[in-house]
Amino acid sequence: MSTDLTTFDNLLAAVTVTDGQPVHDPATGELVGNTKMSSTDDVDAAVAIASQAQKSWGALSHAERADYLHKAADAVNASAEALAQILAREVGKPLNGPNARFEAGACEAWLRANADFPLEDEVLVDDESGKSVLSYVPIGVVGAIGPWNWPMMISVWQLAPSLRMGNAVILKPSEHTPLSVQALVAVLNQALPEGVLQVVPGEGDIGQAVSEHPDIDKIMFTGSTKTGQAIMRSAAADMKRVTLELGGNDAGIVLEDINVADMAQDIFWGAFINTGQTCAALKRLYVPASIYDELVQALAKIAAETPMGQGVSEENVLGPLQNAAQQKIVADLVEEARKDGATIVTGGNPDDHQTGYFYPATIVSDIDQKNPLVQIEQFGPALPIIKYDDLDQAIEWANELEVGLGSSVWSSDADRAREVANRLIAGTTWINKHGAVDPRVPFGGVKKSGMGLEFGVEGLKQVALPKVTTL
Ligand code: NAD
């Protein structure tokens, strides 16, 4: 009889090994479990299995594959709490708030949405000259390489459209969060045919082996711009297709007409979702002089009052940084801002005696555009707030960096907000929210934030080959 994967203990036991690499809870340093680490031989073996399994998977109809995806979504639903408990320990993200339980729920939602998107053949020409039809056929084997911040959700963003379109998938999770992705795969594989979804936990060299493998046909990558560039180089030899979702440094521009009390919470969560460790989080906020002090104080109050602590404690909604390197990046950037004369309104003083990679929710004011905390993606709980007198100047500052993932405009006047939004260079510009994603709405970055789109019918097309038939 197969193991019941709906309990945390069983699910963790299913993905841990006795002699693997230890994984620790970033909040406490406690051992979560030992993970298997793959070799390049394991990658070769997984690709051989995937290539074989893809033949019959790719031959199924869309309706048949959709049925499998819904059954996989049912399995996620049944194991949702166990999955969230693993995220809370391995990533450190709290169970509540827009965190671990939310992430497990998003996995189910994205699986179901991708199962159901309609994708009809397009008749391009049908007249006396002949008939041309555009359809989308499987690419083959997709290698999906992911980051540590939303390990399950981003894996589903990659695997759900890929499977729907008839590809087999090999996931390479971040070395920081291998158990989360193996747990997700164990749950999904209760419903999927053998071999169409596999996982090869390992470090960057295993990611490189995936992106260089001659029998992998497409790479879906989410992570830093630097690694995205390395993957493009690796993929070039075989002309692999690539979708790259990379780093961002999203700007938010506030207009002077907002009601600060009404909008401060949403601005806060736009920046501090997942304790700031989110690709499309608000990472620099531009505020007009007329409401600057009021908004800074409102955000500082929320930051100081929002409970931060261990992922597994029900009361917390902010958690630790996931790893020591990320904690240091945030601490160093805030220190530099402080030395340059910026005001640390709240936070900014990590407790050195506390175990875990915590950094307090930090609001930094009186900071200028050239400061490294504004120029460099902090990817953590420290928000710089830049004062502006001239809206054109604020828009120029927002657009001046070499990344362009998301951005936002905050205003009570929808027309004015839309005008400003049209001038911002980013894959997505939100109005009166930041970072809200929807499985039906395409998402992707411009400039060095990536190429290609995920989600929606557009996302399906990007994990398929366009094929024209003409008679
Ligand atoms: P990272 O680039 O360090 O690592 C991502 C993955 O790439 C890991 O699995 C890693 O092992 C692998 N890797 C490393 N070197 C490789 C190589 N040479 N070839 C192939 N794979 C390799 O990124 P990270 O630190 O895990 O994630 C944080 C970054 O990801 C941030 O910049 C963030 O903005 C970005 N991000 C973007 C999105 C998005 O949708 N655009 C979403 C989440 C995170």
Nearest ligand 1 atom to alpha carbon 279: 34
The model's pLDDT over 254-309, given as tens digits with 9 standing for 90+, comes to 999 999 999 999 999 999 999 999 999 999 999 999 999 999 999 999 999 999 99
How confident is the model at residue 451, as a pLDDT? Answer: 96
- Answer whether residue 352 shows pLDDT above 90: no
How confident is the model at residue 276, as a pLDDT? Answer: 98
- Answer whether residue 159 shows pLDDT above 90: yes
How confident is the model at residue 1, as a pLDDT? Answer: 63
**Does 279 sit in the ligand 1 pocket, CB within 6 Å?**
yes
Mean pLDDT across 392-412: 98
**Does 248 sit in the ligand 1 pocket, CB within 6 Å?**
yes
Question: What's the CA-to-centroid distance between 155 and ligand 1, angstroms?
Answer: 12
Phi-psi region of 29 (alpha: psi -120 to 50; beta: other; left: phi over 0): left
**Does 148 sit in the ligand 1 pocket, CB within 6 Å?**
yes
Residue 193 backbone dihedrals phi, psi, to 5 degrees: -65, 150
**Does 174 sit in the ligand 1 pocket, CB within 6 Å?**
yes
Mean pLDDT across 238-244: 96
pTM value > 0.75: yes
The model's pLDDT over 420-465, given as tens digits with 9 standing for 90+, comes to 999 999 999 999 999 999 999 999 999 999 999 999 999 999 999 9
Question: What's the CA-to-centroid distance between 132 and ligand 1, angstroms?
Answer: 40
Mean pLDDT across 94-115: 98
**Does 444 sit in the ligand 1 pocket, CB within 6 Å?**
no
How confident is the model at residue 350, as a pLDDT? Answer: 83
How confident is the model at residue 354, as a pLDDT? Answer: 75
Residue from 21, 149, 274, 322 whose mutation best tests the ligand 1 pocket (most atoms within 8 A of CB): 149
How confident is the model at residue 353, as a pLDDT? Answer: 67
Query: Band of the pLDDT at 216, cuts 50, 70, 90?
Result: very high
Question: What's the CA-to-centroid distance between 146 and ligand 1, angstroms?
Answer: 6
The model's pLDDT over 363-386, given as tens digits with 9 standing for 90+, comes to 999 999 999 999 999 999 999 999
Question: What's the CA-to-centroid distance between 364 and ligand 1, angstroms?
Answer: 27
Nearest ligand 1 atom to alpha carbon 148: 26
Q: Give the burial string for 348-384 (b: 16+ CB within 10 Å, else e).
A: bebeeeeebbbbbbbbbbbbebebebbebbbbbbbbb
**Does 204 sit in the ligand 1 pocket, CB within 6 Å?**
yes
Mean pLDDT across 401-406: 98
**Tokens at 431, concatenated:** 């109005």
CA separation for the pair 159, 206 (Å, rounded): 18
Q: What residues have CB less than 8 Å from 91, skipping those under 6 apart?
A: 26, 100, 148, 149, 151, 177, 180, 311, 319, 322
194 is catalytic: no
**Tokens at 193, concatenated:** 């045919």
- Answer whether residue 27 shows pLDDT above 90: yes
Query: Band of the pLDDT at 313, cuts 50, 70, 90?
Result: very high
- Answer whether residue 2 shows pLDDT above 90: no
CA separation for the pair 439, 449 (Å, rounded): 19
CA separation for the pair 117, 110 (Å, rounded): 11
> How open is the CA angle 38-41-46, to the nearest 5 degrees?
75
Cβ 385 vs Cβ 410: under 8 Å: no
Residue from 172, 174, 451 whose mutation best tests the ligand 1 pocket (most atoms within 8 A of CB): 174
